[in-house]
Chains A and B, each alone.
Chain A
C-alpha cells in the first residue's frame, strides 16, 4: 500500500509569514508524529497524536508551532510568523498504534525561511 506522504516537498517563505505542512499517514495507522531535522542533525520530536486522545505537544519549541489532526487521517503542522531558525526538514511518521510500534517516515518537507 501507499506509504506516508507529505506536501509540499519543498517550501520557501519569507520571514514572518505563516506556513502549513501536510502529512497523510499510512491508512489504518492510528498514531502520527512530527519531527524536525536541522541540516546535519538528528530528529527532534515535536508532537504526537494517538487516536482520539489529547496530543502530546511536549516537543513543540514555541507557541508559533501548532498541529492538528482530523480523526485518524491527515495532519497539518502550522508555523506562524516563521523565523530563519525554523529552516529545516519537517518529517512526519505514522505507526499502527502506540509509540512503541514501528514508525514509518514520510519524505519530509524542506522548509527554507529567507
Chain B
C-alpha cells in the first residue's frame, strides 16, 4: 500500500522566518495531497491541498509544491507567526488503495 514519509518531525523557527515541511509518497497513482494543521487537543483542519494536475498552489502565507516525478510534495509557510505553532500532517490519496494515508506529523514551533 501507500507509504508517506514526512520530515522533519520537529521544527523550530523564529517569528517572521519561513518554515518548510517535506513529504514523499510511494504510489505513483496518487493524485490528491492535502495538508492538515492540528493544534493541541483539537481536530485536524485542512489548510491547503493540491491535485496532481498542478505543480504549485498558494494561499496567502501558505504554499504547497508537488513534484510528481520525484513523488514528493512540500508545505511552505512564510512570515511565520506564533499562532502557526501546531502539528502539521501531510496526506496522500492512493488510487490503488483508495485511502488517504497520512504522514507522521511535524511539530512546528514558532518562537516569538
Contacts and interface: CB of A to CB of B under 8 A. Distances in A.
Interface stretch (A66-74, A79-87, A102-110): A102-110
Closest 5 pairs between A and B when the two form their complex, measured CB to CB = A105-B43, A100-B32, A43-B102, A42-B104, A100-B93
Nearest to B43: A105
B67 interface: no
A106 B98 CA distance: 21
Interface string A51-73: 00000101100000000000000
Interface string A84-114: 0000000100000001101111111000000
Interface residues on B, range: 20 to 34
Chain A contact surface mostly: loop
A56 B97 CA distance: 10
Interface string A24-51: 0000000001000000011101001000
